């Protein structure tokens, strides 16, 4: 069921989005940029993938019918193997309180829908570069 291009070499991105068309749009944009996106159409599928596959970054919706994005983020931050994984919330929840909550819970960045594909790609590349620099220095990156 994995939709991974075995010949691709770019960073692996988990796209957690319950709306198939939005997930496809994000996946297509990331592929164009040389990244390896993998879709999870809900929170439980995301948790299953995170427990069995390596990823370099997660883009996660918050409002999903099974397990919400806050729970996915809590799982990521509680697991030693994924704790430092950059997480971008990409959601329709756009109030200042929502943004503050997402960042306080440990998201590295918070983007709202409707979103700019260029801004999403720019944010992904910045976080991947920060992760690479942090990994090389041996210093863990605090969540913003």
Domain region containing 24: 12-115
Q: Could you give the CA distance from residue 75 to residue 109 in angstroms, rounded to a whole number?
A: 17
User: Would 122 be classed as within a structural domain?
Assistant: no
User: Would 127 be classed as within a structural domain?
Assistant: no
pLDDT along the chain (144 residues), means of 10: 54 98 97 97 97 97 96 97 97 96 97 96 97 70 42
Q: Centre a 10 Å sphere on the Cβ of residue 76 and count the other Cβ atoms it contains.
A: 24
Q: Centre a 10 Å sphere on the Cβ of residue 143 and count the other Cβ atoms it contains.
A: 17
pLDDT of 137: 61
How many structural domains are present in the chain? Answer: 1
User: Would 37 be classed as within a structural domain?
Assistant: yes
User: Would 78 be classed as within a structural domain?
Assistant: yes
User: Would 136 be classed as within a structural domain?
Assistant: no
Q: How far apart are the first and last CA of the chain?
A: 33
Q: Centre a 10 Å sphere on the Cβ of residue 80 and count the other Cβ atoms it contains.
A: 6
Q: What CATH code is carried by the domain that includes residue 55?
A: 3.40.50.2300
């Amino acid at each position: 069921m994995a939709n991974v291009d075995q010949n691709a070499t770019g960073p692996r991105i988990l796209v957690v989005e319950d709306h198939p068309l939005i997930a496809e749009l994000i996946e297509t944009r990331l592929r164009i940029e040389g990244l390896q996106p993998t879709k999870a159409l809900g929170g439980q599928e995301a948790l299953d993938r995170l427990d069995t596959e390596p990823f370099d970054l997660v883009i996660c919706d918050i409002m999903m019918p099974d397990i919400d994005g806050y729970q996915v983020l809590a799982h990521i931050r509680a697991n030693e193997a994924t704790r430092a994984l950059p997480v971008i919330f990409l959601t329709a929840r756009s109030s200042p309180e929502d943004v503050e909550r997402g960042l306080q819970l440990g998201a590295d960045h918070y983007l709202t829908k409707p979103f700019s594909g260029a801004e999403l790609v720019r944010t992904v590349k910045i976080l991947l570069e920060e992760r690479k620099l942090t990994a090389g220095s041996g210093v863990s990156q605090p969540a913003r």
